[in-house]
Amino acid sequence: MAELLGKLTAAMGTYGPAVLFYGVAGLVLASAAYAVVAKKIDHSAFSLMACFTGVAALYAMLGSDFLAVTQVIVYVGGIMILIVFGVLLTDRLPVEYRQISRETVVQGLAVAVPVMAALVWAAAGTSWPVVAEAAAAAAPPAAGGTDPGTTAAIGKLLLTDYLFPFEFASVLLLVALVGAARMARGGAK
Amino acid sequence: MDIAGPFAPVLLETLSACGAGAVLLVDLFTPEARKSRVGAASLAVTAILFLAAWFGMEAGGETATLFGGSLVLDGMAVFLKRTFATAGLLAVLAAIRYEDRLPRGRGEFHFLLLSALTGMFLVSSVGDLMSMFVSLELVTLSFFILAAFRRERPESVEAGLKLLVLGSLAAAFVLFGTAFLYGATGDLTFAGLRDHLASLRGAPPSRDLLLGLLFVLLGLGFKIGMVPMQVWVPDVYQGAPAPVTAFLAVGSKAAGFALVLRLVTTVAGPGTKDSLQLLFTALAFATLFYGNLAAIPQTNVKRLLGYSSIGHCGYLLMGLAALGPASYYDESAAASGAAAILFYLLAYALTTFGAFLVVILFSAATGSDEMDDYAGLSRRSPLLAASLTVALLSLAGVPPLAGFFGKFMLMRSVALTGPAGFGLLVAGAVNVVIGLYYYLCLVKRMYVHPPKDASPLPVTGPTAALLYALTAALLILGIFPGAFVTLASDAARAAFGVGG
């Protein structure tokens, strides 16, 4: 029994990350698919939440701690609340709001299949560099063994190399604000 | 004259962003009865921008960069900024003639026109993919609100929503492509992309890089109305307020082509030119025939101009197809293609506003955009009919107007690539004939058909002056294109790295 457990643990150590990755990726795909085909809009919304959370987990597995946290705060925390509010406030719509016709499916496939084919073609023909090992070799973890994470590096880049797009995004937000005010106020005299 | 020194790359952007804010403030402090001041403030801003662009910037100066290469000012950027400044001035002039029909929110309307203009200025000089995305989204976001601005009209809301949904799809393509490009090169700057391709020494680039390029191009294809990303064009052109449609037709197309040109001049090289040439030839074929054939049965003027703008995108793509096959590869052919695109965009801006100004004035007087209502316009208002005729003939490419010379330059650049460009040349010529047919159908309605309602349409003094000025500009650009062609050629040659 102990021997079996030991083998299992060893196997988990080898295949653990792969099992975790395919599990989460499967969850993301399944919840994204359900968000599209669900008959009720609130089911779609909650399915989307599962999808966002799964994507955050994928980011974390890739070592992007900052991105994973941002994903949770912005998408799971912010955008999902907005969507749920939107669903709550549009209760005048019939709840079973959607009929997926054969035509929609055909049109969707006509776009999705070529894009998918292109992605597979590119993914199959590219030699994917393994970044984590190279980076670990180049910059060993600081003394004490703590991983410095990506937040500091992203912060530096935003205020140096990408200062312009970072700052200019505020103008974009101002325009969005004015636009939202205009759309909410409406065209009534 | 260079009035901004080292800050030349952000001169126009700063002025127009501050001007947009100023317009909002003027709107805030102006009583309801004097709202025409808002338009006057906006006009003043764009007039300053126009003067600064044409007389305050060096066209042939050194390439200047700011923000560590996020913004680049070269000859191509200066030429494009001048085109955008001209389009912005004309858009505000057109908007002032339209704004009586806006129930409220003139301040926001002009603010959004200026913010879109700011985005266009930036688009013409971005140096990395992040800045490109932010600037491009500034243009798209402003246009999405502008298109839906007349919320009381369902068509206007539909136009805005279509622009939003399909625009988001296009933005997703651009971002996805950007991620692939970053994965392939480890760099987000155009300079880094160029270095990466140069380091391949003529070997074909990896598949993920090609896929990234393709996705970014498809996303940009949305802005320029390229087949297969053209589905939004007719509905949005028809539903959006007419000054917005005109600005969208010119601004979105020119902004998209600014980036496509920037991308193509970056990646065009021995390893990529075959695929690029094949791709753009196919796209030009599809776009030309789709736009021009679908324009024939149209009955609404704005929709007709929408389909014809898809056709014009096809002509512009011919300039990119002039990259040439390997055996005939000649940097000067590629550069002449880029120069033709730059010149064509300027001519297209003036022509489109010439046509849309008449559409705005006509629908203000009659409340209609239907082609049948244009019957007998020559008897109701000879000036409107004549201005629209000149603009339509320029769009069709009839000498001696600006549109003719633009098409001539595009065809010439394709001809320079040798036998491989022959098919495209024939396609271009066939489409000129198709275009002439449907433009002349409208001209015939105006001059031959009897009017349903013979009441004359008065044109006020300043409006008449504007129409005369635009018509004169089309003639001048067509008869004396020399100075502008030189500017465009120098810019394109510098971008492709061809000496003198």
pLDDT, position B198: 83
pLDDT, position B215: 93
A83, A160: one domain: no
pLDDT 10s digits, B147-194: 998 888 888 989 999 999 999 999 999 999 999 999 888 888 998 888
A35, A70: one domain: yes
Q: Does residue B305 lie within any of the structural domains?
A: yes
Q: What is the ipTM of this complex?
A: 0.88
A137, A153: one domain: no
On whether any CB of chain B is under 8 Å from the CB of A119, the answer is yes
Q: Does residue B235 lie within any of the structural domains?
A: no
Mean pLDDT of chain B: 88
Q: Does residue A98 lie within any of the structural domains?
A: no
pLDDT at B135 over 80: yes
pLDDT at B478 over 70: yes
Q: Does residue A124 lie within any of the structural domains?
A: no
Contacts of A21 (CB under 8 A, 6+ apart): A58, A61
pLDDT, position A92: 59
Q: Does residue A107 lie within any of the structural domains?
A: no
* A187·B111 Cβ contact <8 A: no
pLDDT 10s digits, B328-348: 556 677 788 889 999 999 999
pLDDT 10s digits, A112-168: 899 899 999 988 887 776 665 555 555 545 445 556 678 888 889 889 888 999 988
pLDDT at B499 over 50: no
On whether any CB of chain A is under 8 Å from the CB of B210, the answer is yes
On whether any CB of chain B is under 8 Å from the CB of A183, the answer is yes
Percent of chain B with pLDDT over 70: 97
pLDDT at B84 over 50: yes
Taking residues A66-95, what's their average pLDDT?
83
Give B429 to chain A, closest Cα distance, Å.
Answer: 32
Top pLDDT among B309 and B455 is at B309
Q: Does residue A103 lie within any of the structural domains?
A: no
Give yes or no for a contact between B302 and B359, defined as CB atoms under 8 angstroms apart.
yes
Structural domain boundaries enclosing A71: 1-93+131-143
Which long-range CB contacts under 8 A does B98-103 form with residues at least 24 apart? B98/B241, B98/B242, B98/B243, B98/B360, B98/B364, B99/B39, B100/B364, B101/B150, B101/B241, B101/B364, B102/B149, B102/B150, B102/B241, B103/A187, B103/A188, B103/A189, B103/B152
A61, A136: one domain: yes
Residue of A107, A111, A126 to mutate when probing chain B, most B C-beta within 10 A: A126
Q: Does residue B275 lie within any of the structural domains?
A: no
On whether any CB of chain A is under 8 Å from the CB of B206, the answer is yes
pLDDT, position B500: 36
Q: Does residue A111 lie within any of the structural domains?
A: no
HEC profile of chain B: CCCCHHHHHHHHHHHHHHHHHHHHHHHHCCCHHHCHHHHHHHHHHHHHHHHHHHHCCCCCCCCEEEHHHCEEECHHHHHHHHHHHHHHHHHHHHHHHHHHHCCCCHHHHHHHHHHHHHHHHHHCCECEHHHHHHHHHHHHHHHHHHHCCCCCCHHHHHHHHHHHHHHHHHHHHHHHHHHHHHHHHCCCEHHHHHHHHHHCCCCCCCHHHHHHHHHHHHHHHHHHCCCCCCCCHHHHHHHCCHHHHHHHHHHHHHHHHHHHHHHHHHHCCCCCHHHHHHHHHHHHHHHHHHHHHHHCCCCEHHHHHHHHHHHHHHHHHHHHHCCCCHHHCCHHHHHHHHHHHHHHHHHHHHHHHHHHHHHHHHHHHHCCCEHHHHCCHHHHCHHHHHHHHHHHHHHHCCCCCHHHHHHHHHHHHHHHCCHHHHHHHHHHHHHHHHHHHHHHHHHHHHHCCCCCCCCCCCCCHHHHHHHHHHHHHHHHHHHCCHHHHHHHHHHHHHHCCCCC
- Structural domain total, chain A: 2
pLDDT at B376 over 90: no
B-chain CB neighbours of A182 within 8 Å are 105, 108, 145, 149
On whether any CB of chain A is under 8 Å from the CB of B330, the answer is no
pLDDT at B21 over 90: yes
Taking residues B423-442, what's their average pLDDT?
93
pLDDT, position A2: 67
- Structural domain total, chain B: 1
A138, A187: one domain: no
B-chain CB neighbours of A123 within 8 Å are 208
On whether any CB of chain A is under 8 Å from the CB of B211, the answer is yes
* B134·A169 Cβ contact <8 A: yes
On whether any CB of chain B is under 8 Å from the CB of A110, the answer is no
Q: Which residue of A has its CA nearest to B67?
A: A164
* A178·B150 Cβ contact <8 A: no
pLDDT at B358 over 90: yes
pLDDT 10s digits, B231-266: 899 999 999 999 999 999 999 999 999 999 989 888
* B149·A182 Cβ contact <8 A: yes
Q: Does residue A104 lie within any of the structural domains?
A: no
On whether any CB of chain A is under 8 Å from the CB of B111, the answer is yes
pLDDT at B456 over 90: no
pLDDT, position B384: 92
Q: Does residue A17 lie within any of the structural domains?
A: yes
A87, A163: one domain: no
User: Which of A123, A163, A186 minimises the CB distance to B67?
Assistant: A163
Residue B320 has which token pair? 């990119």
B-chain CB neighbours of A183 within 8 Å are 145, 148, 151
Q: Does residue A126 lie within any of the structural domains?
A: no
Beta-carbon pairs below 8 A across chains A and B: 95
B-chain CB neighbours of A171 within 8 Å are 17, 115, 118, 138
A57, A83: one domain: yes
Give B387 to chain A, closest Cα distance, Å.
Answer: 32
Distance CA B95, CA B113 (A): 9
Q: Does residue B198 lie within any of the structural domains?
A: no
Taking residues B412-436, what's their average pLDDT?
88
Structural domain boundaries enclosing B494: 280-500
Residue B478 has which token pair? 């067509």
What CATH number is given to the structural domain containing A72? 1.20.120.1200
A46, A29: one domain: yes
